[in-house]
Amino acid sequence: MNSIESLDKAFESRVRLGIMSVLTSSDHADFNTLKSMLGVSDGNLASHIKALETLGFVETRKCFIGRKPNTSYSATQQGRKAFAAHIEALSALLGLKQQE
């Protein structure tokens, strides 16, 4: 299969790429942390998170810290695998990984 065909459309958006980069490099991140790190609006982040949730790549946890609600996200095992495959395809496409 051609490397470009191996790219996952779910990660074509820079916001989704950023979300998955953060979530695969840590256990979880809360909404405000993601919003700040990615420099996006509430609505933009929420819509991209929802799309990744629908694909089964991200899971949401809601809890209270003190009396304040807190929403955090983590990458699912399926999401981690899909993202790793996407990064591998990007690397191959850029010639960073030698073809066998």
Mention every residue, 6+ apart, whose C-beta is less than 8 A from residue 19: 34, 38, 45, 48, 49, 52, 58, 73
Asked whether the whole model's pTM tops 0.85, one would answer: yes
Give tens-digit pLDDT for 39-84.
Answer: 999 999 999 999 999 999 999 999 888 898 899 999 999 999 999 9
For residue range 3-42, list pLDDT tens digits in order.
688 899 999 999 999 999 999 999 999 999 999 999 999 9
- Provide the 3-class DSSP secondary structure of residue 81: helix
Answer yes or no: is pLDDT of 92 > 90. no
- Any alpha helices (H) in 39-100, and if so which ranges? 42-54, 77-93
Beta bridge partners of 29: 73
All domains in the chain, ordered by first residue: 3-93 (1.10.10.10)
User: DSSP labels for 29-41?
Assistant: EEHHHHHHHHT--
